[in-house]
Structure 1
Amino acid sequence: MEKSASLPPAARLLGYAGLLPPIGCVAGIAAFPDQRALLLEAGFGYAALIYSFLGGLWWGQGVARGRATAGLFAVAVVPSLLAWGLMLLQRHGLSIATTLLALGTAILVSPLVDLRLARTGSGTRGWMALRLQLSTGLGLLTLALALR
């Protein structure tokens, strides 16, 4: 990606729109406490999906650069494997709150990979700022669900 290019407005708008599902889950629990279990599951599923998507972005950046290390590709598969593992653990008795805490924390830490990629010359102007905002938003909303 070229550093001189900036993110198009649609990327920002649709990125922020991606926070609507977890906002809806948090608000939904307050409005409809009898639907808490469903909303926690929906929030977990959405956060896991987006976290997996981030791994795909990292993988794509590695492929696009043509000189990425095996380490980048290994890190890029971690989000999907972690989300899948947490889902399995949840299905086998680990509480939804614990899996949401683990997933929310992983999402909050995920920009460290983007920072590393940015240091190596990849990234569009505005990318890191948006990634930090979206990861902070999704991470905190996921943690809020864990505490509901």
Structure 2
Amino acid sequence: MSSSSVASAPLKSKTIATWLALSLGSLGLHRLYLYGFSDRLAWLHPWPTLLGLYGVQRMGELGQDDRSAWLLIPLLGLMLVNAMICGIVYGLTSDEKWDAVHNGSRSSGPSGWAAIIGVVACVLIGGTCLMSTIAFSAQRYFESQVEAAQEISQ
């Protein structure tokens, strides 16, 4: 990218990136904002998220014994956790480093409290999603082990 195209590019806000990661990060919207529509990782985000949502739908329709849902639902949790980690990293990056990486060293101004509030929300939601995903996966694993042991003993 030439220096004139960097100078004419719009400034990327750390606060907006943090809040996009918080709200729609599992779909990759924060990456589209930062890197544009040519970012391949941004286009990979929706697939595991949608598969996880499909797993939630399957569990709602077929009940908790649906083994496919067991495999799909943790994908949703992991994508949510990934987005929250990105929001935390964006929000806690210093303004100088943010501008050097995303704005070609042009100053976007101080980020203020909105970015910090976004980070706190990301920590809250990310921690909840991570613990829920681990608990759900562990519960399903141990239930399947108990069922297998019961089948063997009969």
Greater relative contact order, per chain length (Cα 8 Å cut-off, separation 6+): 1
Tell which structure's C-alpha radius of gyration is larger.
2
The normalised TM-score by structure 2 is: 0.41
